[in-house]
Amino acid sequence: MKRFSTPIALLFSMLILSGGSHSQDAASIPDGPYLGQEPPGLTPKPFAPGIVSTKGWEVGGTFTPDMKEFYFIRNNEEAKKQEFVVFQYKNNQWFESIISPRVGQPVIAPDGKTMHLGKRYKERMDTGWSEIKSLGASFEDIRIMRLTASSAGTYVFDEAGTDGDGVLRYSRLIDGKREEPKPLSKEINTGTWNAHPFIAPDESYIIWDGRRDSGFGHADIYISFRQDNGSWGNAINMGDKVNTEAWEAGASVTPDGKYLFFNRNVGSDKYENVDIYWVDAQIIEDLRPKE
């Protein structure tokens, strides 16, 4: 696997033009929700060991709202390329497919109609997903690694900056028109390497990762809750169950609101083994400020 000389946050901005594939025998995947996996408690654990999380590099796990499709990115060691993978639930079985070489980090909009891929996207059609489209001129010059959307259509996204100076931004839909992107407040844009945000469907919180002097080591995952006056509250480190001395990043909440998914480096500083973890989303409520 390629040795990464730049900070790991920049991995999510890479575009791979070709790749190989391997497939999982459907009979070896347990039946049931979440690829048949036993749900975690308040201690994170790897998601679908041996199926999704392996001794290789996997990031960016996301479900569709009906919970019948699971998308993620992995490194194909044999082909030395990154590939875009989906598990689909059909006829009471999970089936794996290689969609393409990596084309960005997938995030599904709350209504299931759009797959965001940074500053590009696909639309859900009757026959599947459309060809890749551009978000437009306002986003074209921003090196977006990850973009998420709320139910109201608000975008929250990052920027692959230089030496950790990337800014997290938002863009709302106002009277059906998309506003120009604006930086989020200092409560979020403080520290370095702020990246990979997730906005709750109801816009009640934003989760992202970054480095701060008070963190546990490498990049940590943080959360900010919307205040009564509409502003964002102080960043809250998500604690030592989620964050370690290693790199944790790319968090999101499943469409059913039950679980927090995120990425953790469990290998060396070469990042040859990055897994997708999941934990009960109660961890978010436990951090929510009490009135």
User: Could you read off the pLDDT tens digit of each residue along the chain, which spans 291 residues?
Assistant: 333 333 444 444 433 333 333 456 665 899 999 999 999 999 999 999 999 999 999 999 999 999 999 999 999 887 778 999 999 999 999 999 999 999 999 999 999 999 999 999 999 999 999 999 999 999 999 999 999 999 999 999 999 988 889 899 999 999 999 999 999 999 999 999 999 999 999 999 999 999 999 999 899 999 999 999 999 999 999 999 999 999 999 999 999 999 999 999 999 988 999 999 999 999 999 999 987
Domains of the chain, with CATH numbers? 8-287 (2.120.10.30)
pTM over 0.85: yes
Q: What is the pLDDT of residue 20?
A: 35
Say how far apart CA 41 and CA 282 lie, in whole Å.
9
Query: Which phi and psi angles does 28 have, rounded to 5°?
Result: -90, -5
Report the distance separating Cα 144 and Cα 138, nearest Å.
12
Give the CA radius of gyration of the chain: 18
- What stretch of H or E contains 123? strand 120-125
Q: What letters, b where the CB count within 10 A reaches 16 and e where it falls short, cover 196-235? A: bbbbbbebebbbbbbbbeebbebbbbbbbbbeeeeebbeb
Is the distance from CB of 134 to CB of 116 less than 8 angstroms? Answer: no
Type of residue numbered 9? A
Residue type, 187: E
